[in-house]
Chain A
């Protein structure tokens, strides 16, 4: 018994010893099409220069209800079935940042904390005393502050940037798993059906077992 107590005690201690280093903001990502369309636009304006999304095509953006003229403007000569390839070439990226910026298609699912991580990272930039920017969430990052949140003074402007970060995060969350809305909608039907079915099966079971004396 004393071994058990020791294990439990040590278990409790280790939980406190493993507290998270950086606190992540908790956000609720938007899933409605207008918000996602805004997010796509914010992504195009702030991220597309350097980042690729190889699993998302221009035609996918059309499915969000974005104006066709706008999408045509973004894609230029490329066909609608082209993925969103970064405007900057890999060679240029290597020359500037010494690494190719990561593909963002699955980024919302590729970090512990998911969308919360992404949002906290985007608004996690701050100005260091030497004039360069640092990041609370990912200190080793090579990416310069994409939204410019580190140099913002006013509260109103900061809120606006947080909204942009949130809308980009929502878009990236959609991009990582574009069938989420379909999935949850189907899920309600499936589970509803299964509950009714299980109820009926329970009645059948009761009925059959009642034959036993």
Chain B
């Protein structure tokens, strides 16, 4: 970039060098598949959610007597209010869908492994913030499912040792979910996206420090890296087009498929819905919560089930690169885990009145945690087996190189600290 204005700016702000470093010169592995589009898509959905949310907030009333009516005001009287609301409601589901694919890709290709642990953990933090934001946003329409969902989930904090009751009251601002809960959830639902944007920046800084992983699982040579712009901007934009088509099918043709019918009934503390069910993206975790007969155990299990992903860098001890690509057993584990998630989702959706559903849920919960706990052992056994069986020539070489890289990096680090001269 050049020109007098750019020059003027560059003397005062590192604009050109920033663009160069982060975009036009930023090295990206050329072998990234379309599975690497989903981080970019998550960023776009975040922008869409913030943009539609800000305009919705101009018409929404965070007051328990007005909230439900104000949503109908948006749906009926505000110009294109229905579009804003359906985009925002569908966007929540789209966000989780994109994030789940993003996480599944990371797990499949082992992208969480060294040196990308911090990248993975900031992502874990983002997932938690996203869940909190979605949960608080779900209260705002003030329908039956909003109210009872918030009641059930805030009630879980009762298990906090010693101060449980007080924590629940502190969260709700009242003895039961009510007007105070609604106003604070609205306030926090507006705040959290901006915290998420901040955390996304941290996530990106971590990414640009360690660079993208790639399907082969190891750091590529310089000649295999291409600049992010224009190659991956073009690839990401094409992926965005496809994503927006799917998103629009939901927004324009089936927007109510993702909204529980009971949420079209105004919140009524006197009438409990026959079956309280969370949004689809919480179902597997909800199933785990219900599968443990004891409430304290259930809450711990649910919290742990979300946090288990953070342990993956420690659990996976295999040195074979490329995640599931060169690791047949890990690949089977991965697909079984996905299947288990689907089973848990189904269990979470069904009322727990059927004993066989409860049993399926408990077995699936055990499978969920077992699939993490077996990883250290299986990954080590698998590595030994694969080496004994004979790895493809290239991969052995890659492993050696990766090992050398790691040693070099450690030495470099020591040298910088002054341990070695």
Contact = CB atoms under 8 A, between A and B. Distances in A.
B238 interface: yes
Given A179-B82, A201-B234, A191 B249 contact: yes
A10 B356 contact: yes
A194 B246 CA distance: 10
A7 interface: yes
B252 A110 contact: no
A35 B373 CA distance: 61
A161 interface: no
Contact of B360 (A14, A110, A187, A212): A14
A84 to B, nearest CB: 13
Given A10-B356, A17-B354, A187-B251, A198 B241 contact: yes
B75 interface: yes
B367 A3 contact: yes
B238 A106 contact: no
A183 B72 contact: no
Interface string B20-39: 00000000001000000000
Contacts of A197: 241
Interface in B299-353: 336, 339-340, 343, 346, 350
B346 A11 contact: yes
Interface string B70-86: 00100110000011001
Interface in B206-256: 226, 230-231, 234-235, 237-238, 240-242, 244-245, 248-249, 251-253, 255-256
Interface stretch (A36-44, A120-128, A203-211): A203-211
B34 to A, nearest CB: 11
Interface in A16-42: 17-18
Interface in B152-170: none
Contact of A202 (B231, B238, B354, B356): B238
B159 to A, nearest CB: 28
B76 A55 contact: yes
Given A114-B261, A205-B234, A208-B231, A17 B356 contact: yes
Contacts of A190: 248, 252
A95 interface: no
Interface string B242-275: 1011001101110110010110110000000000
A194 B245 contact: yes
A13 interface: yes
B261 A184 contact: no
A183 B252 contact: yes
A195 B245 contact: yes
A186 interface: yes
B363 to A, nearest CB: 6
B245 A209 contact: no
Nearest to A17: B354
B359 interface: yes
Interface residues of B, number: 45
Contact of A191 (B76, B230, B252): B252
Given A14-B350, A208-B234, A4 B76 contact: no
Q: Helix, strand, loop or mixed for chain B's interface?
A: helix
A160 interface: no
B46 interface: no
A111 interface: yes
B265 A177 contact: no
B161 to A, nearest CB: 34
B279 to A, nearest CB: 16
Nearest to A112: B261
A66 interface: no
Interface of A: 3-4, 6-7, 10-11, 13-14, 17-18, 55, 105-106, 109-112, 114, 176-179, 183-184, 186-187, 190-191, 194-195, 197-198, 201-202, 204-205, 208-209, 212
Pairs A-B, 6 closest by C-beta atoms: A187-B252, A198-B241, A110-B264, A201-B238, A106-B264, A205-B234
28 contacts: A4-B339, A7-B340, A10-B356, A10-B363, A14-B350, A14-B356, A17-B354, A18-B354, A106-B72, A109-B259, A110-B265, A112-B261, A177-B256, A179-B76, A179-B82, A187-B251, A190-B248, A194-B241, A194-B244, A194-B245, A201-B237, A201-B241, A202-B238, A204-B238, A205-B235, A205-B237, A208-B234, A212-B231
Given A201-B240, A204-B234, 11 more contacts: A7-B340, A7-B367, A17-B354, A106-B72, A176-B264, A177-B82, A179-B76, A184-B253, A190-B252, A201-B234, A209-B235
Interface of B: 30, 72, 75-76, 82-83, 86, 226, 230-231, 234-235, 237-238, 240-242, 244-245, 248-249, 251-253, 255-256, 259, 261-262, 264-265, 336, 339-340, 343, 346, 350, 354, 356-357, 359-360, 363-364, 367
